[in-house]
Structure 1
């Protein structure tokens, strides 16, 4: 996609925090007409910059009271099996393949400690695991509006 201008970046920031905004409201906030804002949003969707819209659900409201981060160290030969295992485990809600001593960082949401124990024990067949309980989560930050700016 061609480079994003300042208005495109404003639209992305708005939609990352308030994905249900109407095209008219997006336009009002960035100084465009509704058709112009809708056209920009559609262009961002078609080009793959906007990949979807989703509901944010409170896991605790669903009875998923245990939130854990699990680090798995495995071998290259076992990596595909570990990834397949994670994909088949509904309580594992995110998987990151990372560099360093660990190979995967997984996030799990469970109803009780016993289920977390089962998940950890099953993952341990693929290699050593380290599990940390999450005490609190903070809202995700939107992606930076200008990735070319250094820290």
Structure 2
């Protein structure tokens, strides 16, 4: 694991699915995981546009790190329909230390591959990415 600090490779499917979310709004959310055997970030789960924020948060593993993209729709104070693309680094306190280090060291490189992220959030427990936190960061 000499080059673990340099970050993981990013599977092309990750970029493709992100572009589909951004341009066509094909998905509500995407959950990515690091596949340590393949030494790359892969798509773990796709949420269709009808799924809720609760569907998204319940799809995250309780004791494992993940990277997530969430397309948040909201209405502004001026009554305009808007959406923001959130990047959420899910790193629960209960995850293995090695896993947390791996995700932390690969995060910036992975994020650079996804052009169009508007808000970044780091969460170590569900309250740090509750819907009201998302709402607050979107405005």
TM-score by length of 2: 0.28
Larger radius of gyration: 1
Report which of the two has the higher share of strand.
2
TM-score by length of 1: 0.26
